[in-house]
Amino acid sequence: MADQSGVVLHGRVIRPGRAEGIALVSPEPIGFLGGVDPDTGTVIEPGHPLHGQSIAGRVLVFPFGKGSTVGSYTILRLRHSGHAPVAIINRESEAIVAVGAIIADIPMIDQIDIERIRTGDRVRVEDGVVTVWPAGGG
């Protein structure tokens, strides 16, 4: 569905809240423990499509999480260091990222068609609704 307000997508609330920012989209899963530096927010996993990019202050969009359950605490460390994403959108959540978002108080939604969101789009997350304004205004 699209209107003058942007493209509207509906999903499932994992962690309620409202956030808005610029999307950073990965076509591949993200593992937070060993994959993201909790002190800088930089993706450090070798070969990852987002390698070298910062997730800090972005609406982080990716299919699902992977790796160790300690990744939940890495998300919390990102929050404490000031380098966490402002929101997380997944195609399908799993326990590692969901718990991390909950304990770090980061709004999170899943069951979203993430292929409708591109890096650079402005995105608002609020109560199960994702609104996307394409980069370039079109």
**Is 68 among the catalytic positions?**
yes
Q: Which of 68, 72, 81, 93 is catalytic?
A: 68
Three-state secondary structure string covering the chain: CEECCEEEEECEEEECCEEEEEEEECCCCECCCCCECCCCCEECCCCCCCCCCECCCCEEEECCECCCCCHHHHHHHHHHHCCCCCEEEECCCCHHHHHHHHHHCCCEEECCCHHHCCCCCEEEEECCEEEEECHHHC
By C-alpha distance, which of 110, 21, 49, 32 is closest to 41? Answer: 32
Annotated catalytic residues are: 68
